[in-house]
Structure 1
Amino acid sequence: MRIRWWIGATSVAAAVLLAGCSSGDDGGGSTGSATDEQAAVAPQGAAPADKAEGGQAGAPIEFRQDDRAIIYTGSIAVRVDDVEQAATRATSIASGAGGFVGGDKRSSDDSYTQATLTLRVAADKFAGVVDELAKLGEQERRDINTEDVTEEALDLDARIATQRARVDSGRRLLAQAKTLSDLVMLESELAKREADLASLEAKKRRIDDLTALSTITVELLGPGATIPEDDDDATGFLAGLKGGWKALTATFVLLVTVLGALLPWMIAIGVPALGGVWLYRRLRRPRPST
């Protein structure tokens, strides 16, 4: 009886142990199968997620249109009935766009009146301001130019950062100087580094100003005013005659200028030289025998 009970207890314990091992094998198998599924889904040779994200950090930077540094410049000629009134209106347009008048040149004659205004406006309002200026009267000419200086701006930023580090290093070395000769040498080197840094920062401020504020030159023409012609585009007999006359007058002015510069030397050197030659010939002249 006892033997039967012992055999039964042993069988139950063995069954419990086998069930536990079976459940552990199932859990490990499920983990392995999940890993196999991830490997099957991922492309062959693909890096893990964390490595892939790290790889994106070294990818080339792509700039959006808003990130680029672009200089906008333009000129427009508009014929108006009243130049003074149109100039006041153009000033108001620039002020309304957050800009200002950088230059104002006006001329008037019996037959015509003309004004040339240089306006500085925000870059994002450049096109709208040009269109509003064209509505002041009859547009005669429009010239728009853009210059992308993104790479130059980034290069200046990098050079400024490097130069600032050099200045800081020079200041630390100057604070640790022990001898007078080291102090003088380090002060000279630090002054040079600070001057280079100031020059780079000035260039960067200039680029920032040109990219932040666009320049528009508006020429307001009265009813009798004429648009000045570009000499480079002028051709024909009259253009050639005009160019030849300018060359002749320029040459004549150059010769007169050179003569005026040499005349004092000719008087200062020529008069004594002529006197010497006259005296020399007089002394060599044979005297009459007595």
Structure 2
Amino acid sequence: MRKAAALSGSAWRCAVSCRADVRRLVALVGLAMLLTSPLHAIGAAEPGKEPVVDPGACMAASEAHDADKVLTECGALIDNAKAARADRINALIARASIFITKGEPDRAIADYDVALQLDPTLADILNARGELYRKKGNRPKALADFAAALRLNPDHASARSNYHALAIELERLGAQLAVAGRPSFNCATARRAVEKAICADPELANLDREIDGAQTRIMREAVQPAAARALQQEQDAFIARRNVGFGRPGYDLKKEMQDRLRRLNGVDGY
């Protein structure tokens, strides 16, 4: 009985000691796993969490017109997907203004594109992007942006002015294209060699049409009848010299026509 009791007491002490050892071992293993885990490594950020970016730094740089800081501070804000939408839009607009001053319209347009994706109702940005497209020579896209800005805000004065001016410009260009390479007279009835030469050369044809247009304009605006008659006599004399001189050695038809156009445009300062 004593021996059995002694064994039982020894087994009990061993069990208690072993359980304590096991608990210490589990604790050590848990600590090791905690220290080595990439999710709980000392100094590691939580997965998917962007660093906090202060929008005030971007706006302060923009107000100070500090181009370098705008590019860094606003760039960090733009790239932070956790940043508020309004803050990202303001940062995009600020950075676009720097790209414009640096002569990089394509990068400014790209920032305006993102800003409009975040908020398609920004009439000011549509108008600003349209102005950049117009400077780049992309008139259709410019006109579309001005029109979109006006749809959002019919009272947008700048967009209305831009749309009106560009519409007139496109109309004028369309009219010019319609008559490009055509002289002021009907080539189907041309009989003189000089007229046939003008019809055969688009550059000479355009010069002839411009001369005729300038002559008509000046005649229409002439105040005194005597002045109008003098201008017509001068034009008739030019045509007569042109008809006689063409084909002779040393006669430069293009130069004579260019000189005549400069003379007409110089009459009233055009």
- Determine which structure has more spread, i.e. the larger CA radius of gyration: 1
Does the pair score TM above 0.5? no
Which structure: greater strand fraction? 1
TM-score with structure 1 setting the length:
0.27
TM-score by length of 2: 0.29
